[in-house]
Amino acid sequence: MSLHSIAARSRAAAFALLAGLACCLFATAGTAAAQAWPTRPVKLVVPFPPGGPLDTIGRAIAQKLTEAWGQSVVVENKPGAGGNIGADFVAKSPPDGYTVVMGALSTHAVNPSLYAKMPYDAQKDFAPISLVAVTPNVLVVNPALPVHSVKELIAYGKAHPGKLSFGSGSIGSAGHLAGELFKVDTGVDMVHVPYKGAAPAMQALLAGDTQLMFDNLASSMAQMKAGKLRALAVTTAQRSSFAPDLPTMAEAGVPGFDISTWFGLLAPAGTPPFIIEKWNLRVREILSTPDMRARLAAQGAEASPDTPAQFAQFIASEIAKYARVVKASGARVD
């Protein structure tokens, strides 16, 4: 073998050795980074005002994460535009896992169809972490209305077109869109009456100014137990553990009906997978604890953790669903 060939082989061996060492160093560095993250405070953005169920649960999760990670997880409220302001802030934040949003039905399912112009893409601009919880809604009627089932309500509505009215907390709210979906699926002609919040909408129902409402199950429970409201069905695909005797809308005669209020965690698109995985695993652990499940139940919510891929699929299906419902309702925010 010539000296030239020996030298060439030696150089090739040296390059291979150096490449192997480089790979080991990069792998070691990546493992170290994965183990070390987070190394500074984390921001959890809640795109709604303080005090609501989403804010309350967000703060409870932040406290648990602070204890688990040894780094402060701080909740920052950025309300406005139906949640769009806070969600957009996170969409445009660095994709490093240090800024995430507690997204919701409005920010990642309804608003893309409700708003004429959106500042972000609800799918492309985010990396889903996990669904956190689902809040069942319930169809309730004023007891003066002579119906005791969903089928009777449908029959009554068709016999009295335009005479029924349903209230909601606002245009584009889950209660409003549930009513619009009910109209589309059953052919019942009824009038939507929006109020400035769920509380005045409930007062109108109790006073008989409206005849029915799709309300948060936990909010209506006391009035249901007192006999001031008659519950006909829950709006979720599955029965609720809070009221297991109540049928679903599908069971009660409206196939495929599935409306609920939900919220979950999302990071900016491009966040490294190992950081998303860290978030997901820790959040799933937190949501499995009796303490957190009790806190969720106090807000009328049920823990619903899933994988990032499952959450992404869920968001896609919700966007498609509400595009149809919003179009049917004619609701629009310019």
Residue 96 binned pLDDT confidence (cut-offs 50, 70, 90): very high
State whether 148 and 129 are in the same domain: no
* Residue bearing the bigger pLDDT, 299 or 320: 320
Return the pLDDT at 29.
Answer: 44
* Residue bearing the bigger pLDDT, 308 or 238: 308
Domain containing 53 — which CATH number? Answer: 3.40.190.150
Residue 8 lies in a domain: no
Q: Of 236, 142, 128, which Cα lies nearest the Cα of 181?
A: 236
Q: Which residue has the tokens 């820790």?
A: 282
Residue 18 binned pLDDT confidence (cut-offs 50, 70, 90): low
State whether 130 and 265 are in the same domain: yes
Domain containing 216 — which CATH number? Answer: 3.40.190.10
pLDDT at 31 over 70: no
State whether 323 and 277 are in the same domain: yes
State whether 127 and 201 are in the same domain: no
State whether 82 and 65 are in the same domain: yes
- Average pLDDT (103-129) is 95
Residue 95 near residue 268, CB atoms below 8 Å: yes
| Burial grade of 86 (CB within 10 A; 0-12, 13-18, 19 or more) | buried
State whether 321 and 176 are in the same domain: no
State whether 62 and 208 are in the same domain: no
pTM: 0.79
Q: Are strands 164-168 and 212-216 parallel, antiparallel or unpaired?
A: parallel
* Residue bearing the bigger pLDDT, 136 or 44: 44
Angstrom distance (rounded) from CA 47 to CA 126: 15
Phi–psi pair at 122, nearest 5 degrees: -60, -20
Return the pLDDT at 27.
Answer: 43
Domain that holds residue 70: 42-135+260-329
State whether 267 and 131 are in the same domain: yes
Number of domains within the chain: 2
- Average pLDDT (185-214) is 93
Residue 312 lies in a domain: yes
State whether 140 and 227 are in the same domain: yes
Which DSSP symbol is given to 167?
E
